[in-house]
Structure formats: structure tokens, C-alpha cells
């Protein structure tokens, strides 16, 4: 696993990843729920959608929109196990351990906080 800042910097060079940004609706949702709640949502979503060794719909389990965490997952390549392996060097054919889960949540939250900072919040 790479340093989070290095990884986010590398992801900015991806045309696909760089097109994702929080919408005004996402920002309002974060403001209403609070950043701690969003982080809890990230942990819960990753627990179900990314942590298991076998994910029957891997590559299609993360919607492109509908929650700030979903947007962040696509922006940070934490959306599926293939992207996680390609961008973060986390092996695919195993259950994610606690450190890997914490890393993924940290990547997502750092990206979300960066987006909020860019909007002046």
C-alpha cells in the first residue's frame, strides 16, 4: 500500500478518476449528516462491498452516484477489488484485513475532505 498522498496524486493523472467530484447535493448531505457519519457510512459500505474475499458482482457493486462515499470510491479507485489491486496493490483473492480496511476508509475520507476544502467548506 502506498502513502495516501502519493496515491491520491497519482489518481489525479487518471482522466477517468479525475472526473469525479462531489455534487452540491453530496455536499449538502455531508453538511447535514456530519463528517463522522460519512466516515461511518464508508466503513459500513466497504465492509459489505469491498472486504469479502468473494464478491459476486465485483466491478459492479459500487453505484456511480447516490452517496458521497460512492463518488469518492470511484475517484479513489476503492470501488472494486480490481481497481484496489491496480491502484493500491491490495491483493484481490483474500478478505481485506483491518489495516487494509482502515487504509481504504482513510483514502476515501481524505479525498472527501479535499473536495470539501476545494469548495470553501
- The per-residue pLDDT string of the chain (121 residues; one tens digit each, 9 = 90 and over) reads 458 999 999 999 999 999 999 999 999 999 999 999 999 999 999 999 999 998 887 777 788 889 999 999 999 999 999 999 999 999 998 999 999 999 999 999 999 999 998 876 6
DSSP designation for 90: -
Three cell numbers written together for 114: 479535499
CA distances to 41, 69, 98, 115 from 18, rounded to whole Å, are 23, 15, 28, 12
Q: In this predicted structure, what is the pLDDT of residue 1?
A: 46
Tell which residue, 45, 91, 43, 94, has the closest CA to residue 66.
45
| Residue 57, pLDDT score | 78
pTM of the model: 0.92
Neighbours of 66 (CB within 10 A): 11
- Which helix (H) or strand (E) segment holds residue 72: the answer is helix 68-76
C-alpha cell at 50: 469491498
Amino acid at each position: 500500500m502506498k502513502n495516501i498522498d502519493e496515491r491520491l496524486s497519482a489518481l489525479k493523472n487518471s482522466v477517468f478518476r479525475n472526473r469525479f467530484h462531489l455534487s452540491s447535493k453530496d455536499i449538502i448531505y455531508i453538511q447535514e449528516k456530519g463528517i463522522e457519519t460519512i466516515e461511518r457510512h464508508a466503513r459500513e459500505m466497504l465492509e459489505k462491498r469491498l472486504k469479502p474475499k468473494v464478491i459476486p458482482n465485483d466491478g459492479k457493486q459500487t453505484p456511480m452516484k447516490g452517496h458521497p462515499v460512492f463518488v469518492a470510491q470511484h475517484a479513489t479507485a476503492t470501488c472494486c477489488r480490481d481497481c484496489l489491486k491496480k491502484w493500491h496493490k491490495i491483493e484481490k483473492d483474500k478478505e481485506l484485513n483491518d489495516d487494509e480496511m482502515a487504509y481504504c476508509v482513510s483514502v476515501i475520507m481524505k479525498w472527501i475532505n479535499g473536495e470539501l476544502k476545494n469548495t470553501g467548506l
